Chains A and B, each alone.
Chain A
Amino acid sequence: MYSRIRFLSGAALLATSCAVIAGGDGVLREQVLTALAKQPQKHFHFVQEKKLAVLDKPLVTEGELQIAGEQDVIWDIRKPYAIRYDIHGGKIRETDDSGEHVTDANSNPLAAALQEAMGAALSGHWQNREDLASVAASGTLASWQLHITPRNADLQKLVQTIDVDGDNGVIHQVLIHESNGDTTVIHLQAMP
């Protein structure tokens, strides 16, 4: 049995990783938090690799990620096909060679909340989302790892842990272990 709540997006998971950094404690955590809040980077090249238990090969997606505003995110996918997702004002606008299709990001309240948090997080506008997860930090500021464990009961059903690697104010990789065994890794590379 599953319901819409299962349709938590990769973006939302990434959002979790960023948004929840505001929680937890520790000097390093605070340093990372401050560095991320100051980071001006808004444009990334990304490669996302999803490994699903029911598939015999990973799903690899590549493209560009832009943080257009506090809550606006653009996923511009180039491979394996070209499609662009503009997330703005609670709507997801999909554009490909066959036209445009708008869906409601609100249909999953949790995903919508996380999408919003993601925009806010990556744009440096931290939201108060401690209720979502606890965070532990390791390494140094020049090479840190954040280990995020969801607190929210609904999130726990979906996500086991999220590990984020980075240096100073730049995120390099997000690794999401879903509760059902699926994993998603997103490699981020800052673009000019």
Chain B
Amino acid sequence: MSTLTRIWFLLLALLCSAALLAMTFNIWPGIPVRNNIMQLLPALRDDAVLLQALENSNQAMSRKLLMLVGNSDRAKTAVATQRVIDSLHAQPFFATPVTGMNADQVRAIGQFYYGWRQMLLSDTQRRLLQNGNTDALQKSLLQTVYSPVSGINADVLAGDPLLTFYHFMRDLPVAEGHVQTVDGQLSVHGTDRDYRVILVDIREDVFDMAFHPRYQQWRDSLQQDLQTESPGTQVLLMGAVQHAVWGASSAKREVSTIGNGSLLGVIALTLLVFRTVRTLLASLLPLGAGVIAGLVCTLAYAGEIHIITLIFGCSVIGVAMDYSLHYLSEHYKTSGDADTTPRHIMQRVFPGITFAMITSAIAYGAIGFAPFPVLRQIAIFSSAGLVMAWLSVVVTYPHIMPPQTFRSPFWLRASGNMDARLRQLFDWRASKILVVLLAIAMLPGIVSLHANDDIHLLQAPEPGITATEKQVQVLTGFQPNGRFFLVEGETVQQVLERTERLGDWLATQHIGSDLLTHVVPSQQRQRENYGLLRSLFFDAAPQTFASRWQSTLGLAPAAIARAQSQLESTPLHWLTPDDLNRTPLQSAVQRFQLHNTPRGFIAAAFVRGEVESAPMQQWATAQPGIHWMDPVADISALFKHYREQASWTMVYAYALIALLLVWRYGWRAALHVLLAPALAAWITLGCLGYAGVALNLFHVLALLLVLGVGIDYSIFFAESAGHRDSTMLAVILSTITTLLSFGLLSLSQTAAIRSFGIVVSIGMVCALLFSPLARHHAHVDAKT
């Protein structure tokens, strides 16, 4: 090894070590790291317009932050609320907070609609008039006039003698759930205190981890200030940002735990078995190169990297280590021999590590078959990392490793002994029967397996945040379930007409709704309303309804005459959504997300309370331009679909790898090589069944890894020729590093990652135990 080579090696090793440490300590300068759960998912709809509308809706929802501020002392609540509002105004990443509607704003709304009063009717009055039920209309009007809570006075009756405008205004949706307006401020009643309600939009992407420190700093300092200024004040927060911030810090912790755990394991094992710093640096070289390659390829593909990809990336450390361990075991065993050159060592291990790399890359690549963006990132990161790790070993190891033998042959001897014992075990006649019996014993477990395709597999909510959310939901009565309708039309008016059709249908189903047309009816409906209103004043049979009402109530005739005259003389002009833009109702309109699309226009429509999804879907399917959106159900359906698809992919992957093995070893030996991972997968499935674990997409994908990584060990044995002890040592060390990586995944807060960890851990132990079958029972004539 020349001095120049030594310097290059040192530099490379340092660079790779730095890359490894940067990753495991969450230092990603300039790399856009995301943790949005929705980015994990493939497109829920094929239709680009609906997809965009869904995306808009998700984004709008994710940016909302609902705050409840309460102190048992009302005065302190007011002070604390003002403090919160001031702090929101002081942060550029918050939009203007919504805190309620004061008397002036309410008056402004009334004044605004008054100009269009001849086109506006409440749903109840319109239905009565459409059915010609004027008796019921008169009864309801009398109830209103006499009511001690209606607030009707002479001014109201003089300006609106038939109270049509009064009823329209009364039925306007103002606040949802238990939220009330007190002194112009949104409020809710709690058991021991009242809370002020503040709703604010966040201008930044709440899933951008670069934003999180600023948000956390604002939140923490606000909490501190409030405790100092108004002790006992409770601030309850509900919003996606809360989950995003916690999820990101939790994921960062996992990256550190898994990364550092794997790395420390590798370092400890290398030092323990090989006992030189050079070997340690040589081990870190392919790992660091792999991580760099993984990052570069993933960024080139996606332009950003998801935090879950990084968690998996850390686990690849354990697998990428296989190649160097295999080379190093062989090197330390034989490099002392006079006739063995580094070239010979590489020639011996090359087929094994190359085949192992190909099968692992196939398995990791197969994970990316499903169009889940994050799975594709994992597939790319891992495959690129493994290929680079393999390449680093093949290219650099023969040049950087000077001849050296084990300082302590203990580990080699122990591995040889273990191999011998396993061989004895497999030599034992009953062993085959035992293996068959073991496989049969797993059958009841496998048969009892059931599936779970819930979206919560991808979520790991923090109990504290969930509890606060629950508290806010109980206090406010808000139960966001993410389900809604999207209504499309070629024109805005068509969207409004279809929304009204939807509202009419929901009313027949006794389902409450929150629709754009409650604040701005379609022109068609306004025209109908105008006609109905005219009929009250002008249709005489035997007298007009207005006359009847006037005599019943003893109303001054001038009031009716004035209303009639106004109805006759006011020029018709129709209320449109644009007209609302300059009123306090603007924010109420914005949440329906009316916007144009390549096909026309689209808007959201919401149902109130819990509804069954199937009837909504069924009705919407039969209607032009109306779509029921149930992302949770869509995601579960996707998980189910891809779980089934992944099962088939596993079969194809087995077939593909089997073909490769048959090509290299012949069909009998290939069968034996394949036996270990197949048995490992079978036993893992059985264990899951006996443990009552519900099977999900991620378990199946993990079984793919059991095949891809577990087969490495069998291949090492199949290629081991006369070097069983060093092969066994390499396989044991590989299993330990892999187990360490995936075992640490089992500690993840996220069910999906945990599933991977558990399955791969069980599978790897089984793969190790059965791997000697490959060479022992198959007298391989490898085509070296």
Spell out A's residues near B (CB within 8 Å): 1-12, 48, 50, 52-57, 59, 61, 71, 75, 77, 80-81, 83, 85, 87, 89-90, 92, 94, 96, 98, 101, 103-113, 115-116, 128, 154, 178, 180-182
A4-B109, A116-B182 known; A96-B143 Cβ under 8 A = yes
How many angstroms between the C-alpha atoms of A33 and B181 in the bound complex? Answer: 27
* Total B residues in contact with A, Cβ cutoff 8 Å: 54
Name the CB-closest residue of A to B183: A113
B173 surroundings in chain A (CB, below 8 A): 104
A3's contact among B111, B147, B153, by CB below 8 Å, is which?
B111
A3-B110, A6-B155, A154-B103 known; A55-B554 Cβ under 8 A = yes
| Interface residues in B167-184 (C-beta closer than 8 Å to A) | 169-175, 178-184
Known: A2-B155, A103-B170, A116-B182. 4 other contacts (CB 8 A): A2-B159, A106-B180, A109-B103, A180-B155
A104 surroundings in chain B (CB, below 8 A): 173-175
A4-B110, A5-B110, A6-B156 known; A54-B150 Cβ under 8 A = no
| Binary flags per residue of B144-163, CB closer than 8 Å to A gives 1, else 0 | 01111111111111111000
Q: Is the CB of B142 within 8 A of A89?
A: no
Q: Is the CB of B153 within 8 A of A52?
A: yes
Q: Is the CB of A6 within 8 A of B153?
A: yes
* B556: interface (CB < 8 Å): yes
A112 surroundings in chain B (CB, below 8 A): 180-182
11 pairs from A and B in contact (CB 8 Å cutoff): A1-B111, A2-B114, A7-B169, A8-B153, A9-B148, A9-B149, A11-B148, A11-B149, A80-B142, A106-B175, A180-B154
Q: Is the CB of A4 within 8 A of B153?
A: no
A59's contact among B145, B178, B181, by CB below 8 Å, is which?
B145
B175's contact among A10, A11, A52, A90, by CB below 8 Å, is which?
A90
Q: Is the CB of A6 within 8 A of B143?
A: no
Q: How far is the CB of B47 from chain A (nearest CB, A)?
A: 36
A57 surroundings in chain B (CB, below 8 A): 554
Q: Is the CB of A7 within 8 A of B181?
A: no
| Binary flags per residue of B227-251, CB closer than 8 Å to A gives 1, else 0 | 0000000000000000000000000
Q: How far is the CB of A92 from chain B (nearest CB, A)?
A: 6
A7-B156, A83-B147 known; A109-B183 Cβ under 8 A = yes
Q: Is the CB of A61 within 8 A of B184?
A: no
Most chain A CB neighbours (cut-off 10 Å) among B158, B181, B556:
B181
Most chain B CB neighbours (cut-off 10 Å) among A57, A81, A101, A109:
A109
A2-B110, A9-B149, A48-B148 known; A106-B181 Cβ under 8 A = yes
Q: How far is the CB of A88 from chain B (nearest CB, A)?
A: 10
Q: How far is the CB of B405 from chain A (nearest CB, A)?
A: 82
B148's contact among A10, A71, A108, A116, by CB below 8 Å, is which?
A10
* B413: interface (CB < 8 Å): no
Q: How far is the CB of B554 from chain A (nearest CB, A)?
A: 4
A83 surroundings in chain B (CB, below 8 A): 143, 147
How many angstroms between the C-alpha atoms of A4 and B170 in the bound complex? Answer: 8
Name the CB-closest residue of A to B180: A90
A56-B556, A89-B180 known; A109-B149 Cβ under 8 A = no
A6 surroundings in chain B (CB, below 8 A): 151, 153, 155-156
B181's contact among A3, A11, A109, A180, by CB below 8 Å, is which?
A109
A53 surroundings in chain B (CB, below 8 A): 154, 158
B114 surroundings in chain A (CB, below 8 A): 1-3
B136 surroundings in chain A (CB, below 8 A): 98
A3-B106, A109-B101, A112-B181 known; A54-B157 Cβ under 8 A = yes
* B595: interface (CB < 8 Å): no
* B548: interface (CB < 8 Å): no
B170 surroundings in chain A (CB, below 8 A): 7, 103, 107
* B559: interface (CB < 8 Å): yes
Q: How far is the CB of A55 from chain B (nearest CB, A)?
A: 5
B182 surroundings in chain A (CB, below 8 A): 109, 112-113, 116
Q: Is the CB of A55 within 8 A of B555?
A: yes
| Interface residues in B527-561 (C-beta closer than 8 Å to A) | 553-556, 559
Q: How far is the CB of A17 from chain B (nearest CB, A)?
A: 13
Name the CB-closest residue of A to B171: A103
Most chain A CB neighbours (cut-off 10 Å) among B148, B175, B178, B554:
B148
B214 surroundings in chain A (CB, below 8 A): none
Name the CB-closest residue of A to B148: A10
* B107: interface (CB < 8 Å): yes
* B45: interface (CB < 8 Å): no
* B74: interface (CB < 8 Å): yes
B111 surroundings in chain A (CB, below 8 A): 1, 3
How many angstroms between the C-alpha atoms of A10 and B148 in the bound complex? Answer: 5
Q: How far is the CB of A177 from chain B (nearest CB, A)?
A: 12
Name the CB-closest residue of A to B172: A107
| Binary flags per residue of B73-117, CB closer than 8 Å to A gives 1, else 0 | 010000000000000000000000000111100111111001000
Q: Is the CB of B153 within 8 A of A9?
A: no
Q: How far is the CB of A14 from chain B (nearest CB, A)?
A: 8
Name the CB-closest residue of A to B115: A1
* B207: interface (CB < 8 Å): no
B102's contact among A9, A109, A180, by CB below 8 Å, is which?
A109
B154 surroundings in chain A (CB, below 8 A): 52-55, 180-182
Q: Is the CB of A80 within 8 A of B174?
A: no
Shortest 6 CB-CB distances between A and B: which pairs?
A3-B110, A90-B180, A7-B151, A56-B554, A9-B151, A53-B154
A154 surroundings in chain B (CB, below 8 A): 103
* B189: interface (CB < 8 Å): yes
How many angstroms between the C-alpha atoms of A115 and B182 in the bound complex? Answer: 10
B100 surroundings in chain A (CB, below 8 A): 109
A53-B154, A104-B174, A180-B155 known; A87-B110 Cβ under 8 A = no
Q: Is the CB of B109 within 8 A of A3?
A: yes
Q: Is the CB of B556 within 8 A of A55?
A: yes
Most chain A CB neighbours (cut-off 10 Å) among B107, B159, B555:
B107
Q: How far is the CB of B105 from chain A (nearest CB, A)?
A: 9
Q: Is the CB of A10 within 8 A of B189?
A: no
Q: Is the CB of B146 within 8 A of A61?
A: yes
| Binary flags per residue of B24-54, CB closer than 8 Å to A gives 1, else 0 | 0000000000000000000000000000000
Most chain A CB neighbours (cut-off 10 Å) among B109, B154, B156, B157:
B154
* B166: interface (CB < 8 Å): yes
A107 surroundings in chain B (CB, below 8 A): 106, 169-170, 172, 174
